[in-house]
Amino acid sequence: MAIAFTFPGQGSQAVGMGKDLAESYPEARRVFEEVDEALGEKLSKLIWEGPEETLMLTANAQPALMAVSLAAMRALESRGFSLKDKVGYVAGHSLGEYSALAAAGFVSIADAARLLRIRGNAMQSAVPVGEGAMAAIIGLEQADVETACAEAAQGAVCQVANDNGGGQLVISGARAAVERAAALCSEKGAKRALMLQVSAPFHSALMQPAADAMREALAGVAKNPPVVPVVSNVSVTPTSDPETIAARLVEQVTGRVRWRETVEWFGAEGVTTLYEIGAGKVLSGLARRINRDIAVANVGAPADVDAALASLG
């Protein structure tokens, strides 16, 4: 099939996201109610009213973004849309992989919310505040960035965490090593080497305690074959085997988010349109820079639901 659905990751959150979907579709509102019940708190109130600094916390942002993506999915489905019949693949950026899997029925919405709360807390607590860092490197070849990381490590962790495409790579690891690597990238000709305001060194080997926590958490939830294959962040291959999917989710905590390769893979497989399901338009922007032959569309508001249904048929 020529269509894939993608699901955004952390950084796409905004106060008020998904509220219009909940007001327009009872099915969407029920998603937020399910998440609230699963977490034992009114996350929906935080999503819609803020404060922003609390929503931005990793343990809140991750289940919140999943809730908005699944609310958009339920809005589509309430109008007769079938993921299995209309879409060839799903994929998500980092936490968005959980949203993609929930949309495809691998886990329930409630379990996805609890898993992402565990994931957020575990990632935050894996490294003491201030000891880790991440930096965005713009306009430098991947091989040069990897060389800079290796030179800067000096026995510490420093690695490429995200290959987002469009000339954007993110490095992650011990703060001093990342700072050294960013400086080396500038020397090697990077257009920009920007330290990021993040709370932990995500997608690096320093996240191993969080990977261990997710292995245990995933072992304890009911897992089903997804109705469409999920393209894994860490392997850039599609699978429908529940245990393989779970293993890749564990690897993802410390592994690289290979988003550029994912979009390139979609193009090679004949995907002609990517729909970004949920908050923001970050993935759509990245896709345009990676492969201009693939059309992009967004489903994050009631008007988007109408437009998507008209084009999906």
The dihedral over CA atoms of 96, 101, 102, 103, expressed in degrees to the nearest 10, equals 90
Nearest to 213 by CA among 249, 240, 241: 249
Annotated active-site residue in 12, 69, 94, 172: 94
Contacts 24+ apart (CB under 8 A), 219-225: 219/246, 221/107, 221/111, 221/114, 221/115, 222/107, 222/108, 222/111, 223/106, 223/107, 224/105, 224/106, 224/107, 225/106
Active site annotation includes 203: yes
Annotated active-site residue in 172, 203, 204, 232: 203
159-193: burial string, b at 16+ Cβ within 10 Å, e else = bbbbbbbbbbbbbbbbbebbbbbbebbeebebeeb
Catalytic residues: 94, 203
